[in-house]
Every structure is written in C-alpha cells, then in structure tokens.
Chain A
C-alpha cells in the first residue's frame, strides 16, 4: 500500500467519527430540548428551596410547631401541607391534599437526612436537616397514595411511611381555620 492512500483513509475514518459525533450532538440536543421546553412552558424544575432552618430548634419554631402541621388552605386559596420527617415517623401520619389544584409540600427534619416520594406522582425530595424542603406539584389522580421515607435514616427506616389522601375537589373541605385532615376510612 503506498504511503498516500493511508492518509486519505485515515481522514475518512475521522470523517465517519465526526459524522457520528454530529449525530450524537443531535440526540443530546433532543434530550435537552424537551427539558428546556417543559421548564419554560410548564415550570418543571427539580424541587429546590434554599431556605435555612435550624434543626436543633425546629420544634420551637412557629411554622413547624406541632399544631401547625398537616394541610392548611390560606386566604388566597393556596394549599400548603407542612410535614415533619423525624426518626422513624412522618408527622402527621396522613396528609390530605386536593386533586387538580396546585399544592405546596413543605418538609423539615429535626434530626438526620430523610427523603420522600409519593408513589405514582412526581413528588420527590430529600429532607436535609438545616433546610426546609419544598415541592410544588398538582395531583392528577385521587386515591390513597404511599409516602415512604426513601433515604436511609437509621434502623427504623423501613417502617417510616405516611399516607397521602388525594381527595376529589368536592371532598376537600377546609374547616374553620383552614385546616384539612384525612377522612377516617
């Protein structure tokens, strides 16, 4: 084989690799474009809320006081559920939320790292001591869902779960001071 031909072949090889890289670039652009699109149009983000809260004095705070936990409907109709994730239990154990309306879940941990997901939904966040975790979502199906702690938090981790009752619009009725608790079934 003469010396000239290999150079031409080597350039052809690099040509095919560049073509392949261009194809890969197109695929990566497709992957990222749907992310950017839904972020711009529907506000889809990973849950982030850099709000500091001292875990050592959380039980003395106003927002995460024992009586203020659970779901409450504010004057402007916005629904917020405040939940404490503590070693080996969620307080309250059952959280009522409306179907088809924006809901904000605010969670805090007074001791170690916890994490939540609600089965079948996009609600998912880590609950890190030192911060208030916040998830804005909208539940699309009614029914009882499971909210386990999905991050290792100690020997009782497997027993740490709560129930989320997604109530149809009619059944979601706040009481006098705007609180909604689970229907006893």
Chain B
C-alpha cells in the first residue's frame, strides 16, 4: 500500500490544491518518460483502430456487396 507521501514531493508536485491528492509519481522521472510517451500508445491504438476499419472495408466489399443489392 502507498507509504505516506514524501513532504518534499508535496511541495514540488503538480498537486497544489486540496482536490488533487499527491501521488508517488516522481516529477523528474515523469519528465524523462514524457519524451517517449505517446509513441507506444499511438502505434498500439493506431494499428488496432486501423485494423478495425480495414476489417469493416473488407466485410463491406467481400461479404455485403456479393449478397446482392439492397435499396
């Protein structure tokens, strides 16, 4: 379970109001991580969504249209 938040962090952390409770994320580590961040998410989410739309287009052309017109 989370140890008592380090008072030193309390000062420099982004949470400066009583609604944002401080967390154990170290700002320096966060800044380092933020140099890479959306790359992994972009590739993962991007391929997933692109696959979905590709699947949609394939089903439209290869399953829907051959079954005959509708209108």
Instruction: List the interface of chain A (C-beta within 8 A of B).
Output: 1, 5, 9, 13, 16, 19-20, 23-24, 27, 30-31, 34, 38, 42-47, 102, 120-124, 135-140
Contacts and interface: CB of A to CB of B under 8 A. Distances in A.
B16 interface: no
A124 B70 contact: yes
Contacts of A1: 27, 31
B53 A31 contact: yes
Contacts of B57: 30-31, 34
Contact of B68 (A13, A19, A34, A139): A139
B71 interface: yes
A135 B71 CA distance: 6
A136 B70 CA distance: 6
Q: How large is the interface on B (under 10, 10 to 19, 20 to 34, 35 or more residues)?
A: 20 to 34
B66 A140 contact: yes
Contacts of A43: 69, 71
A27 B49 contact: yes
A122 B70 contact: yes
A30 B27 contact: no
B67 interface: yes
B27 A140 contact: no
B28 to A, nearest CB: 8
Given A9-B34, A16-B38, A34-B57, 17 more contacts: A1-B27, A5-B31, A27-B49, A27-B50, A30-B53, A34-B61, A38-B65, A44-B65, A102-B69, A122-B67, A123-B68, A136-B69, A136-B70, A138-B68, A138-B69, A139-B68, A140-B68
